[in-house]
A = this chain, B = another copy of it.
Amino acid sequence: MDLPVSPLASPFPAIPPIDGVTLRIARAGYKDWGRCDLTYAELAEGTAVAGVFTNNICCSSEVELGREQVRQGRARALIVNAGNSNAFTGYRGREAVEQIMAQVSGRLGCPADQVFVSSTGVIGVPLPKDKARAGVEAALDAPPCGWEDAANTIGTTDTFAKGAMAQAVVDGKTVTLGAFIKGSGMIAPDMATMLGYIFTDAALEPAFLQRLLSAANLKTFSCITVDSDTSTSDTVLAFATGKAGNAPLSCFDCAGADAFAAALEDVCRQLAQLVVRDGEGAQKFITIEVSGAVSDDSARRIGLAIANSPLIKTAIAGEDANWGRVVMAVGKAGEPADRDRLSIGFGGVWAAREGLPLADYDEAPVAAHLRGRDISIEVDIGLGAGRATVWTCDLTHGYISINADYRS
């Protein structure tokens, strides 16, 4: 199906080349798309790698293998297949991944476990080995391409290419982070629930890169949801080639570690928000700010209960400041809350404070806010200092059309 571009789309950012990263794309033909569907990133020797993966128990072989591979901390290559997730395909799916790892490592002369593979698309169909072999061969020999081409190639139901960039000064060197991501439906938090790749020329010890990525994940990818459905395949990998020449970062005492951590979190947040902006059928981008919870984690769970509520998402689609539904979602979250201390607002205007509707509540500015594209919901639990920000989109006829009216 040919989907219109999301009304919440952001333009693809200008991302400079990153030393030690070469991108190439090819067409394996997993689907009749008539476009490239296989992405190859070649990485300099010694590149550090870290990853976060879906917590879905029925995960793909790619995720199972990737989770093992990040432990040794080094990467030479990434292959991303689009159009077939290779999930729920048993030993045949695993063989297809191992074939790709052997093929690429043979060409590069590196250990097979330094070749990372991701796949996204339909569940339950083993990745066809012949198409994969020919596609990888073509990608290995393809000319280098730019960031936006690679971002487009990993997409499936995505309606726009999603990239992010940040820079930081580390040890006197300016390091660059370039990244792209895909994801639109089957997006729920609890881990990285899409395919995202972050590349940097900074030098980091793999264990520290993993620590920074896991921390950033908790505040970014784990704080978004489109439809509460957690994918079987999805993955965020960070690659640090070290070509910027800084002394490798190994802990927060290193000069520039804080700056790099902030830049990494910035890139992760940009990527996470872009996925929401391409949520299936999304017409509005919703930011939910929860404060006053008993802990940050409790605030995040409450935020996600709000973000996953079909009744709230449809109310926002209908531009209805239905704060009663927000009360309902806070109450069902299973986290400490007290009805009589709860305050709820939209676009910075309180509708209810401390358990009661405001007598002088002025609906006009709230109604104007809800007619816009970027909506905020503020919730003060009134119990503690826990805070979280969660991002989601509205639930519209477009979501139903994409997932019910068209056949997979």
A contacts, CB < 8 Å to B: 55-59, 85, 87-90, 92, 122-125, 185-186, 188, 190, 227-232, 308-311, 314-315, 317-318, 320, 322-325, 327-334, 336-340, 342, 352, 355-357, 394-397, 399-401, 403-408
Q: Specify which chain B residues have a CB less than 8 angstroms from the CB of A89 in the assembled complex.
A: 356-357
Q: Specify which chain B residues have a CB less than 8 angstroms from the CB of A88 in the assembled complex.
A: 324, 327, 339, 342, 352, 355-357
Q: Specify which chain B residues have a CB less than 8 angstroms from the CB of A315 in the assembled complex.
A: 403-404, 408
Q: Specify which chain B residues have a CB less than 8 angstroms from the CB of A338 in the assembled complex.
A: 57
Provide a sorted-by-A list of 21 A–B residue pairs whose CB atoms are within 8 angstroms: A57-B332, A58-B331, A88-B324, A89-B357, A123-B328, A185-B311, A227-B310, A228-B308, A228-B309, A228-B310, A229-B309, A229-B310, A229-B325, A229-B332, A230-B328, A230-B332, A231-B328, A314-B404, A395-B400, A396-B404, A397-B397
Evaluate contact between B404 and A317: CB separation under 8 angstroms. Answer: yes
Q: Specify which chain B residues have a CB less than 8 angstroms from the CB of A56 in the assembled complex.
A: 328, 331-332
Partner of A229, one of B85, B311, B320, B340: B311
Evaluate contact between A405 and B318: CB separation under 8 angstroms. Answer: yes
Q: How many copies does the complex hold?
A: 2
Q: Specify which chain B residues have a CB less than 8 angstroms from the CB of A333 in the assembled complex.
A: 57
- Given A185-B311, A309-B229, are A322 and B408 neighbors across the interface (CB < 8 Å)? yes
Partner of A186, one of B230, B311, B317: B311
Q: What residue of chain B has the Cβ atom nearest to residue A400's Cβ? A: B397
- The winner among A310, A331, A403 for most chain B CB atoms within 10 A is A310
Evaluate contact between B125 and A329: CB separation under 8 angstroms. Answer: no
A122 to B315, CA, bound (A): 13
Q: Specify which chain B residues have a CB less than 8 angstroms from the CB of A355 in the assembled complex.
A: 88, 90
Q: A227-B311, A315-B404 are in contact. List 20 more A-B contacts (CB 8 A).
A: A57-B330, A58-B331, A59-B331, A87-B324, A92-B356, A123-B328, A124-B324, A186-B311, A190-B332, A228-B310, A229-B309, A229-B332, A230-B331, A232-B331, A314-B400, A317-B400, A318-B405, A320-B407, A394-B404, A397-B397
Q: What residue of chain B has the Cβ atom nearest to residue A332's Cβ? A: B230
